[in-house]
Structure 1
Amino acid sequence: MSDLFIVKAKVKEIAGDFNVAGDFSDALNNKVKELILEAINRAKANGRRTLMAKDL
């Protein structure tokens, strides 16, 4: 994995008493990256260069 978009320690903090498998953070990171890229495409399609909550 080259770019980290999440903080693994915070994921574990939110999980509380649940264990977090090693591949969970990688999968979550990939999902966040996909969300960001989709938001970029939506903003471009609407003629904006600013990502907004509505792009999610």
Structure 2
Amino acid sequence: MTEILANEGFEPVRNIAIDEDRSALRFGRVENIKKMVRKFTYTKVRKERTNDQ
């Protein structure tokens, strides 16, 4: 699923707890992500932005 969304320009931005047993992964458009702090990325655009910082 992450690869499909990455191809459309989305990156995972947050893991959200739903309850004790379940969680959800929140995605955002790369151009709307203000701060890049992770060492790994899924999209080429985000890789370029992460290396610049």
Provide TM-score, normalisation by structure 2.
0.22
Please identify the structure whose Cα radius of gyration is greater.
1
- TM-score norm. by structure 1 comes to 0.22
Structure with greater proportional strand content = 2
Whose helix fraction is larger, Structure 1's or Structure 2's? 1
